Every structure is written in C-alpha cells, then in structure tokens.
C-alpha cells in the first residue's frame, strides 16, 4: 500500500486509470495530480536515505508513451515495460544506478497498447520465436493487484504462437495468476538467494520459504518455471549456504524437470556504489574495487565483477551444485 500516489492526467482517460484511482481513494491513499509520470515533484525526503524510502512508498500512475522496447540480453530478446521500480529495498539492486534519488514505482494504464507493440516485434522476427522479459526494470508482481498487467500479458502470450513471455519476482502473491490460459508460453521465475543474503540485503521482500512455496504453486499450475540465483555473493560460509538452498530446491521440485536456472554473480558500478553508501551507510555489501575486475557492460557503462579465476571457481561450484541437486534443470547462463 503506497503512502501517496500521483496520477498523470492522461492516465484518467483510460478505464484502468479510473479503476486504480477509485481503488486508491477507497484505501485512503493521498492522491495528487501530475503533468508527466517522468517528472514528479513533491516527494518528501531531506536526506538520501529518506528520499529513497519515500520514493519506494510512492506510486505514480501514467501512460507509457515510449513504445520502442529495449533489448534484454541474455534472458530475452526485448524488455516488455509493464512497470518501473518496485517496493522492495534490495541494497545491491542495479536500478540504484538508473532510477535517481527517489525511485518511485511507476505503473502504466495503456497495457493493451504495449502488448500491441509487442505483436509488431513478433511479426518482424517471424519465423523465429520472440521472447519478452517483463521484469527488466521492475518487479511487476507487487503491483499486480492494481494493474492486472501480468494477467493480461500471460493471457495475451498464451494466444501467440511465435511469442513468449517471462518475468522474475521476489514476491509471492501468485494466486490470481494460477488458473490463466498460459498455454506454457510464460516462464514464471523466482529470484532466490541464501537466507544470509536475503536477510542482510533484500529488505522488505518475502523470505526464502515463502518464495519457494509460491514457486511450488506456479510449478503445479503447469507454468514453465525457473529460478534466478542472484546475486551470488562470496562471503564466509557461502558455499554451505548455497548448498542448503539447492537442497531445498530438491525437496520442492525433485530432479528439476522443466526448470531453468540463471546464475548471476554480484557486480556493481561506481555510481551504484556511491548511491548505496548514501542510502545504506551501514551496508556490509562487498564492494571493494581492489578485489574486482573492471568490465564494460552491454549498455556501455563500466562495472566491477569478480576476477576471472574467482568467476571460474564460482561457475564450477554452482554448475556442479545444479547437476547434483536438480540434474534435469537447465542452466541457461552464468554471468
């Protein structure tokens, strides 16, 4: 539940915008109007930490005008922009680099227009299948009760012979999505980590047992399912804790038939580090540049990653762990 919400005036020209306004008014949320969802003023917060926290408690309802989709390697061909930001407060989140000092949650009311644009991309790439990622700049599940955007997208892609949809979440409110006609065209993934990483760094998100229970529901509903293990962080006892995580996966999902696994090691940019230290000065995130290798990413900015020998060690360990615990699961990539 947001503390405040801003509505772009154009959003109220859409039925969904009017529905969201009514819902928030009934909840007693403070409502304000705005000219553009990209330029919001008036969110309180005198210090970087206060600004961040108040941004995370602010919802902005707007019309997505930019309908050119960004690429989304390595998980998909294109991003599907259903929302921006999320209420979680993960200290390492790469969006700390891109969303500014007050990372408010943006939701869009023109979902049908966004999906129509997706159809153009699908048509342009035929006869190849085109894959869209719905969580590149957000976690769309926490705002699903307001937008219904995931349900619309899942139903839409269920009817697309040459289109596929995938998204990832740390949240657990999956019940409204379990009986949709997904036709196996949506891959529903959960971001998981060790209890230590979740408790230290993934603030205001469900714990591991709750995520695994939600994932079990999704798996039993016939969705293609998967897990992103990210960010993999090296710390004292890390190998034992990751072994315990995969032991839990074995208990819930057997040999891992039809599961996918994505493995992403911890990395950070200088800009993100500066923001993190301002917002979470007490953080214990390992961000010493001297123990990392500087590398340019796909969007042209530099980031600090584990050095090659450490990456090789982590890769071998995790691939062996998957093979031993859930041998039928497919590791899609390691970065």
The residue written with tokens 């340019």 in the block is 296
DSSP 3: S
Q: What is the pLDDT of residue 67?
A: 93
Domains, the chain, ordered by start? 1-189 (3.40.50.12110)
Higher pLDDT, 185 or 296: 185
Beta bridge partners of 132: 78, 165
Establish whether the linkage from the previous residue to 78 is cis, with ω within 30° of 0. Answer: no
User: Strand 186-192 relative to strand 163-169: parallel, antiparallel, unpaired?
Assistant: parallel
DSSP 120: H
Mean pLDDT of the chain: 95
Q: What is the pLDDT of residues 248-277, one digit of tens each?
A: 999 999 999 999 999 999 999 998 899 999
Rounded to the nearest 10°, the torsion over CA 40, 44, 46, 50 is: -100
User: What is the Cα–Cα distance from 167 to 70, expressed in whole angstroms?
Assistant: 15
For residues 178-188, average pLDDT: 98
User: What is the Cα–Cα distance from 66 to 95, expressed in whole angstroms?
Assistant: 19
Conformation bin of residue 190: beta by default, left when phi > 0, alpha when psi is -120 to 50 = beta
Q: What is the pLDDT of residues 213-237, one digit of tens each?
A: 999 999 999 999 999 999 999 999 9
Q: What confidence category does residue 39 fall into, taking pLDDT thresholds of 50, 70 and 90?
A: confident
For residues 89-117, average pLDDT: 91
Contacts of 299 (CB under 8 A, 6+ apart): none
Q: What is the pLDDT of residue 75?
A: 85
Q: Answer yes or no: is pLDDT of 300 > 80.
A: no
pTM: 0.94
Residue 148: its H or E element: none
Q: What is the pLDDT of residue 98?
A: 78
Q: What is the pLDDT of residue 298?
A: 63
Q: What is the pLDDT of residue 138?
A: 94
């Amino acid at each position: 539940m947001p503390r405040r919400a801003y509505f772009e005036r154009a959003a109220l020209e859409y039925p969904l915008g009017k529905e969201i306004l009514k819902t928030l008014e009934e909840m007693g949320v403070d409502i304000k109007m705005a000219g553009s969802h990209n330029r919001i003023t008036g969110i309180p917060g005198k210090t970087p930490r206060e600004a961040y926290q108040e941004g995370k408690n602010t919802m902005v309802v707007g019309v997505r005008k930019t309908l050119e989709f960004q690429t989304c390697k390595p998980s998909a061909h294109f991003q599907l922009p259903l929302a921006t930001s999320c209420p979680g407060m993960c200290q390492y989140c790469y969006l700390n680099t891109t969303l500014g000092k007050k990372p408010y949650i943006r939701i869009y009311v023109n979902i049908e227009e966004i999906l129509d644009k997706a159809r153009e991309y699908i048509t342009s790439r035929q006869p190849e299948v085109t894959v869209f990622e719905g969580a590149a700049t957000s976690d769309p599940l926490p705002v699903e009760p307001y937008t219904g955007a995931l349900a619309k997208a899942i139903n839409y892609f269920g009817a697309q012979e040459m289109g596929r949809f995938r998204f990832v979440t740390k949240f657990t409110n999956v019940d409204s999505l379990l009986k949709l006609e997904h036709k196996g065209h949506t891959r529903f993934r959960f971001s998981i980590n060790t209890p230590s990483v979740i408790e230290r760094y993934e603030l205001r998100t469900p714990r591991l047992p709750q995520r695994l229970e939600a994932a079990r529901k999704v798996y039993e509903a016939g969705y293609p399912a998967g897990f992103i293990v990210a960010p993999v962080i090296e710390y004292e006892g890390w190998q034992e804790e990751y072994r315990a995580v995969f032991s839990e996966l074995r208990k819930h999902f057997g040999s891992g038939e039809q599961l996918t696994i994505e493995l992403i090691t911890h990395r950070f940019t200088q800009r993100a580090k500066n923001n993190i230290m301002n917002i979470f000065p007490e953080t214990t995130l390992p961000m010493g540049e001297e123990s990392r290798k500087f590398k340019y990413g796909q969007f042209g900015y530099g980031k600090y990653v584990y050095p090659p020998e450490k990456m090789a060690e982590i890769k071998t360990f995790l691939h062996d762990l998957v093979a031993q615990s859930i041998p039928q699961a497919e590791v899609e990539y390691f970065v």
